[in-house]
Chains A and B, each alone.
Chain A
Protein backbone atom coordinates (compact mmCIF):
# COMPACT_ATOMS: atom_id res chain seq x y z
CA UNK A 1 0.00 0.00 0.00
CA UNK A 2 1.37 3.45 -0.85
CA UNK A 3 1.80 6.19 1.73
CA UNK A 4 -0.49 8.58 -0.18
CA UNK A 5 -3.82 7.67 1.54
CA UNK A 6 -2.07 7.89 4.91
CA UNK A 7 -0.54 11.31 4.23
CA UNK A 8 -3.73 12.70 2.65
CA UNK A 9 -6.00 11.48 5.47
CA UNK A 10 -3.72 12.88 8.15
CA UNK A 11 -3.33 16.13 6.16
CA UNK A 12 -7.10 16.71 5.90
CA UNK A 13 -7.77 15.67 9.53
CA UNK A 14 -5.00 17.92 10.76
CA UNK A 15 -6.15 20.81 8.55
CA UNK A 16 -9.64 20.68 10.11
CA UNK A 17 -8.26 20.71 13.64
CA UNK A 18 -5.69 23.39 12.75
CA UNK A 19 -8.48 25.66 11.45
CA UNK A 20 -10.27 25.34 14.80
CA UNK A 21 -7.04 25.96 16.73
CA UNK A 22 -6.26 28.97 14.49
CA UNK A 23 -9.59 30.56 15.44
CA UNK A 24 -8.65 30.40 19.13
CA UNK A 25 -5.06 31.55 18.55
CA UNK A 26 -6.24 34.54 16.46
CA UNK A 27 -8.79 35.51 19.11
CA UNK A 28 -6.09 35.39 21.81
CA UNK A 29 -3.43 37.14 19.74
CA UNK A 30 -5.51 39.92 18.19
CA UNK A 31 -7.48 40.67 21.37
CA UNK A 32 -4.81 40.18 24.03
CA UNK A 33 -1.11 39.88 23.22
CA UNK A 34 0.81 37.98 20.55
CA UNK A 35 3.91 37.08 22.59
CA UNK A 36 2.03 35.14 25.28
CA UNK A 37 -0.23 33.61 22.61
CA UNK A 38 2.78 32.30 20.68
CA UNK A 39 4.33 31.00 23.90
CA UNK A 40 1.16 29.02 24.68
CA UNK A 41 1.01 27.69 21.12
CA UNK A 42 4.69 26.70 21.14
CA UNK A 43 4.44 24.85 24.48
CA UNK A 44 1.35 22.96 23.24
CA UNK A 45 3.12 21.97 20.00
CA UNK A 46 6.15 20.74 21.99
CA UNK A 47 3.86 18.62 24.22
CA UNK A 48 2.09 17.17 21.15
CA UNK A 49 5.42 16.43 19.43
CA UNK A 50 6.70 14.73 22.59
CA UNK A 51 3.59 12.51 22.75
CA UNK A 52 4.14 11.44 19.13
CA UNK A 53 7.89 10.93 19.69
CA UNK A 54 7.28 8.70 22.73
CA UNK A 55 4.13 6.80 21.75
CA UNK A 56 4.85 6.48 18.02
CA UNK A 57 7.91 4.19 18.26
CA UNK A 58 6.51 2.42 21.37
CA UNK A 59 3.27 1.35 19.72
CA UNK A 60 5.08 -0.04 16.69
CA UNK A 61 6.85 -2.53 19.01
CA UNK A 62 3.53 -4.36 19.54
CA UNK A 63 2.99 -7.56 17.53
CA UNK A 64 1.29 -6.68 14.23
CA UNK A 65 -1.87 -8.73 14.88
CA UNK A 66 -2.48 -7.18 18.30
CA UNK A 67 -1.65 -3.72 16.94
CA UNK A 68 -4.14 -4.10 14.08
CA UNK A 69 -6.88 -5.42 16.37
CA UNK A 70 -6.57 -2.67 18.99
CA UNK A 71 -5.78 0.19 16.63
CA UNK A 72 -8.39 -0.98 14.11
CA UNK A 73 -11.08 -0.99 16.81
CA UNK A 74 -10.05 2.45 18.06
CA UNK A 75 -9.90 3.90 14.53
CA UNK A 76 -13.29 2.45 13.59
CA UNK A 77 -14.91 3.84 16.77
CA UNK A 78 -13.17 7.19 16.30
CA UNK A 79 -14.03 7.32 12.58
CA UNK A 80 -17.69 6.50 13.24
CA UNK A 81 -17.79 9.41 15.72
CA UNK A 82 -16.52 11.81 13.05
CA UNK A 83 -18.87 10.35 10.45
CA UNK A 84 -21.89 10.52 12.76
CA UNK A 85 -21.22 14.18 13.57
CA UNK A 86 -20.56 15.04 9.91
CA UNK A 87 -23.81 13.39 8.76
CA UNK A 88 -25.81 15.12 11.53
CA UNK A 89 -24.27 18.48 10.57
CA UNK A 90 -24.74 17.93 6.84
CA UNK A 91 -28.41 17.12 7.37
CA UNK A 92 -29.17 20.01 9.72
CA UNK A 93 -29.74 17.90 12.85
CA UNK A 94 -26.69 19.48 14.43
CA UNK A 95 -25.47 23.04 13.91
CA UNK A 96 -22.49 23.42 11.58
CA UNK A 97 -19.24 24.39 13.26
CA UNK A 98 -19.10 28.13 12.57
CA UNK A 99 -15.56 29.56 12.87
CA UNK A 100 -16.81 33.17 12.62
CA UNK A 101 -19.16 32.87 15.60
CA UNK A 102 -16.65 30.76 17.55
CA UNK A 103 -14.14 33.58 16.99
CA UNK A 104 -16.60 36.22 18.22
CA UNK A 105 -17.30 34.19 21.37
CA UNK A 106 -13.59 33.85 22.13
CA UNK A 107 -12.93 37.54 21.44
CA UNK A 108 -15.76 38.60 23.78
CA UNK A 109 -14.43 36.32 26.54
CA UNK A 110 -10.83 37.47 25.98
CA UNK A 111 -11.82 41.16 26.25
CA UNK A 112 -13.55 40.56 29.60
CA UNK A 113 -10.78 38.50 31.22
CA UNK A 114 -8.38 40.22 33.60
CA UNK A 115 -4.71 40.47 32.71
CA UNK A 116 -2.07 38.91 34.96
CA UNK A 117 1.52 37.78 34.48
CA UNK A 118 2.74 34.44 35.82
CA UNK A 119 5.85 32.24 35.46
CA UNK A 120 7.53 34.62 33.03
CA UNK A 121 4.43 34.91 30.82
CA UNK A 122 3.17 38.48 30.55
CA UNK A 123 -0.47 37.60 29.77
CA UNK A 124 -1.47 34.32 31.43
CA UNK A 125 -4.99 34.35 29.91
CA UNK A 126 -3.66 34.58 26.34
CA UNK A 127 -1.09 31.86 27.11
CA UNK A 128 -3.59 29.37 28.58
CA UNK A 129 -6.25 30.08 25.93
CA UNK A 130 -3.76 29.45 23.14
CA UNK A 131 -2.16 26.45 24.93
CA UNK A 132 -5.48 24.70 25.63
CA UNK A 133 -6.85 25.42 22.16
CA UNK A 134 -3.83 24.00 20.33
CA UNK A 135 -3.38 21.06 22.73
CA UNK A 136 -7.02 19.90 22.69
CA UNK A 137 -7.44 20.27 18.94
CA UNK A 138 -4.02 18.68 18.41
CA UNK A 139 -4.76 15.58 20.51
CA UNK A 140 -7.16 14.22 17.90
CA UNK A 141 -4.48 14.69 15.26
CA UNK A 142 -1.88 12.97 17.45
CA UNK A 143 -4.27 10.04 17.90
CA UNK A 144 -4.72 9.74 14.14
CA UNK A 145 -1.00 10.19 13.42
CA UNK A 146 0.02 7.48 15.90
CA UNK A 147 -2.67 4.90 15.12
CA UNK A 148 -2.68 5.39 11.36
CA UNK A 149 1.09 5.75 11.09
CA UNK A 150 1.89 2.81 13.38
CA UNK A 151 -0.39 0.45 11.48
CA UNK A 152 1.34 1.27 8.22
CA UNK A 153 4.75 1.36 9.91
CA UNK A 154 5.06 4.92 8.66
CA UNK A 155 4.68 7.33 11.58
CA UNK A 156 7.10 9.61 9.72
CA UNK A 157 4.73 9.85 6.73
CA UNK A 158 1.83 10.66 9.05
CA UNK A 159 3.91 13.37 10.76
CA UNK A 160 4.74 14.87 7.34
CA UNK A 161 1.01 15.03 6.48
CA UNK A 162 0.21 16.68 9.82
CA UNK A 163 3.11 19.15 9.65
CA UNK A 164 2.21 20.16 6.08
CA UNK A 165 -1.38 20.89 7.16
CA UNK A 166 -0.21 23.01 10.12
CA UNK A 167 2.10 25.01 7.85
CA UNK A 168 -0.58 25.55 5.18
CA UNK A 169 -3.23 26.66 7.71
CA UNK A 170 -0.76 28.82 9.68
CA UNK A 171 0.46 30.62 6.53
CA UNK A 172 -3.13 31.11 5.34
CA UNK A 173 -4.06 32.47 8.77
CA UNK A 174 -1.13 34.92 8.73
CA UNK A 175 -2.14 36.14 5.25
CA UNK A 176 -5.89 36.39 5.93
CA UNK A 177 -5.64 37.44 9.61
CA UNK A 178 -9.19 36.16 10.19
CA UNK A 179 -10.85 32.83 11.03
CA UNK A 180 -11.03 30.55 8.00
CA UNK A 181 -14.83 30.49 7.97
CA UNK A 182 -15.17 29.63 4.28
CA UNK A 183 -13.30 26.34 4.41
CA UNK A 184 -15.76 23.41 3.97
CA UNK A 185 -14.91 21.95 7.38
CA UNK A 186 -17.81 19.52 7.50
CA UNK A 187 -17.06 18.05 4.07
CA UNK A 188 -13.43 17.55 5.19
CA UNK A 189 -14.59 15.85 8.40
CA UNK A 190 -16.92 13.67 6.37
CA UNK A 191 -13.99 12.55 4.18
CA UNK A 192 -11.75 11.87 7.18
CA UNK A 193 -14.54 9.96 8.93
CA UNK A 194 -14.93 7.74 5.85
CA UNK A 195 -11.18 7.02 5.70
CA UNK A 196 -10.81 6.32 9.44
CA UNK A 197 -13.87 4.07 9.51
CA UNK A 198 -12.75 2.15 6.39
CA UNK A 199 -9.14 1.66 7.50
CA UNK A 200 -10.23 0.87 11.08
CA UNK A 201 -12.65 -1.78 9.80
CA UNK A 202 -10.01 -3.23 7.48
CA UNK A 203 -7.24 -3.42 10.08
CA UNK A 204 -9.54 -4.46 12.93
CA UNK A 205 -10.89 -7.42 10.96
CA UNK A 206 -7.35 -8.37 9.90
CA UNK A 207 -6.30 -8.23 13.55
CA UNK A 208 -9.22 -10.54 14.41
CA UNK A 209 -7.78 -13.03 11.93
CA UNK A 210 -9.73 -12.62 8.69
CA UNK A 211 -8.18 -12.62 5.22
CA UNK A 212 -9.77 -9.94 3.07
CA UNK A 213 -10.69 -11.00 -0.48
CA UNK A 214 -8.05 -9.36 -2.69
CA UNK A 215 -5.93 -8.45 0.36
CA UNK A 216 -5.12 -4.70 0.36
CA UNK A 217 -7.23 -4.20 -2.79
CA UNK A 218 -10.32 -4.76 -0.60
CA UNK A 219 -9.82 -1.19 0.62
CA UNK A 220 -10.58 0.03 -2.92
CA UNK A 221 -14.06 -1.41 -2.43
CA UNK A 222 -14.47 -0.74 1.30
CA UNK A 223 -13.76 3.02 1.14
CA UNK A 224 -16.37 3.74 -1.61
CA UNK A 225 -18.94 1.50 0.10
CA UNK A 226 -18.51 3.35 3.44
CA UNK A 227 -18.81 6.64 1.50
CA UNK A 228 -21.97 5.47 -0.30
CA UNK A 229 -23.62 4.24 2.91
CA UNK A 230 -22.82 7.55 4.65
CA UNK A 231 -24.09 9.59 1.71
CA UNK A 232 -27.21 7.41 1.65
CA UNK A 233 -27.88 8.20 5.33
CA UNK A 234 -27.30 11.89 4.58
CA UNK A 235 -29.77 11.87 1.67
CA UNK A 236 -32.46 10.08 3.71
CA UNK A 237 -32.04 12.31 6.78
CA UNK A 238 -32.05 15.51 4.70
CA UNK A 239 -35.66 14.82 3.79
CA UNK A 240 -36.77 14.85 7.41
CA UNK A 241 -34.34 17.36 8.94
CA UNK A 242 -35.31 20.49 10.86
CA UNK A 243 -32.48 23.02 10.43
CA UNK A 244 -30.54 23.84 13.59
CA UNK A 245 -29.27 27.44 13.68
CA UNK A 246 -25.57 28.13 14.22
CA UNK A 247 -24.74 29.05 17.83
CA UNK A 248 -25.00 32.76 18.60
CA UNK A 249 -22.02 34.82 19.71
CA UNK A 250 -22.57 34.20 23.41
CA UNK A 251 -19.41 34.96 25.40
CA UNK A 252 -20.49 32.71 28.27
CA UNK A 253 -20.24 29.62 26.05
CA UNK A 254 -17.12 27.60 25.38
CA UNK A 255 -16.04 27.03 21.80
CA UNK A 256 -17.58 23.71 20.84
CA UNK A 257 -15.00 21.06 20.11
CA UNK A 258 -14.88 19.15 16.85
Chain B
Protein backbone atom coordinates (compact mmCIF):
# COMPACT_ATOMS: atom_id res chain seq x y z
CA UNK B 1 0.00 0.00 0.00
CA UNK B 2 2.81 2.39 0.94
CA UNK B 3 4.61 1.61 -2.31
CA UNK B 4 1.42 2.23 -4.30
CA UNK B 5 0.99 5.58 -2.56
CA UNK B 6 4.57 6.61 -3.33
CA UNK B 7 4.15 5.57 -6.99
CA UNK B 8 0.94 7.61 -7.15
CA UNK B 9 2.67 10.58 -5.53
CA UNK B 10 5.55 10.32 -8.02
CA UNK B 11 3.23 10.38 -11.06
CA UNK B 12 1.09 13.15 -9.59
CA UNK B 13 4.21 15.25 -9.05
CA UNK B 14 5.52 14.29 -12.50
CA UNK B 15 2.41 15.31 -14.46
CA UNK B 16 0.66 17.88 -12.27
CA UNK B 17 3.68 19.39 -10.53
CA UNK B 18 3.80 22.18 -7.97
CA UNK B 19 0.46 23.82 -8.72
CA UNK B 20 -2.58 21.58 -9.30
CA UNK B 21 -4.70 24.62 -10.14
CA UNK B 22 -2.87 24.95 -13.47
CA UNK B 23 -3.91 21.42 -14.44
CA UNK B 24 -7.50 22.05 -13.36
CA UNK B 25 -7.69 25.28 -15.41
CA UNK B 26 -6.28 23.58 -18.54
CA UNK B 27 -8.68 20.61 -18.28
CA UNK B 28 -11.68 22.86 -17.54
CA UNK B 29 -10.78 25.15 -20.46
CA UNK B 30 -10.59 22.18 -22.81
CA UNK B 31 -13.96 20.87 -21.60
CA UNK B 32 -15.53 24.31 -22.06
CA UNK B 33 -13.97 24.67 -25.52
CA UNK B 34 -15.40 21.30 -26.57
CA UNK B 35 -18.83 22.33 -25.25
CA UNK B 36 -18.74 25.64 -27.14
CA UNK B 37 -17.65 23.96 -30.37
CA UNK B 38 -19.96 20.97 -30.33
CA UNK B 39 -23.02 22.28 -28.45
CA UNK B 40 -23.08 25.97 -29.37
CA UNK B 41 -21.24 25.85 -32.70
CA UNK B 42 -18.71 28.51 -31.62
CA UNK B 43 -15.18 28.08 -32.97
CA UNK B 44 -13.62 29.01 -29.61
CA UNK B 45 -9.94 28.73 -30.62
CA UNK B 46 -9.14 31.73 -28.43
CA UNK B 47 -10.40 30.25 -25.15
CA UNK B 48 -7.59 27.80 -24.35
CA UNK B 49 -4.72 30.27 -25.00
CA UNK B 50 -6.46 32.85 -22.79
CA UNK B 51 -6.90 30.31 -20.00
CA UNK B 52 -3.30 29.12 -20.35
CA UNK B 53 -2.00 32.70 -20.00
CA UNK B 54 -4.33 33.30 -17.04
CA UNK B 55 -3.21 30.05 -15.38
CA UNK B 56 0.47 30.97 -15.76
CA UNK B 57 -0.07 34.49 -14.41
CA UNK B 58 -2.18 33.31 -11.48
CA UNK B 59 0.23 30.52 -10.59
CA UNK B 60 3.22 32.87 -10.70
CA UNK B 61 1.35 35.43 -8.60
CA UNK B 62 0.56 32.82 -5.96
CA UNK B 63 4.15 31.56 -5.94
CA UNK B 64 5.64 35.04 -5.50
CA UNK B 65 3.10 36.44 -3.05
CA UNK B 66 4.87 37.61 0.14
Interface of A toward B, CB cutoff 8 Å: 69, 72-74, 76-78, 80-81, 83-85, 87-88, 91, 93, 139-140, 143, 197, 201, 204-205, 207-213, 218, 222, 225-226, 229-230, 233, 237, 240-241
Residues on A with C-beta less than 8 A from B16 are: 77
For chains A and B in complex, what number of residue pairs have CB atoms within 8 angstroms?
101
B44 sits at the interface (CB 8 A): yes
Q: By the criterion CB–CB under 8 Å, are B49 and A225 in contact?
A: yes
| 15 further interface pairs, Cβ-Cβ under 8 Å (given A84-B17, A88-B63, A226-B52) | A80-B22, A80-B52, A87-B60, A88-B60, A197-B52, A201-B49, A211-B43, A212-B45, A218-B45, A225-B49, A226-B49, A229-B53, A229-B56, A229-B57, A233-B56
Residues on A with C-beta less than 8 A from B45 are: 205, 210-213, 218
In whole Å, how far is A148's beta carbon from the nearest beta carbon of chain B? 15
Report the bound CA distance from A129 to B48 in whole Å: 41
Which residue of A is nearest B63, CB measured? Answer: A88
In whole Å, how far is B32's beta carbon from the nearest beta carbon of chain A? 9
Which residue of B is nearest A69, CB measured? Answer: B30
- Of B48, B49, B63, which one neighbours A93 at CB under 8 angstroms? B63
Residues on B with C-beta less than 8 A from A88 are: 60, 63-64
- Of B15, B37, B52, which one neighbours A210 at CB under 8 angstroms? B37
Q: By the criterion CB–CB under 8 Å, are A73 and B30 in contact?
A: yes
Question: If the complex has contacts A204-B48, A211-B45, are A93 and B64 also in contact, measured as CB distance less than 8 A?
Answer: yes
Instruction: Give the most central of A74, A84, A218, A226: most B CB within 10 Å.
Output: A84
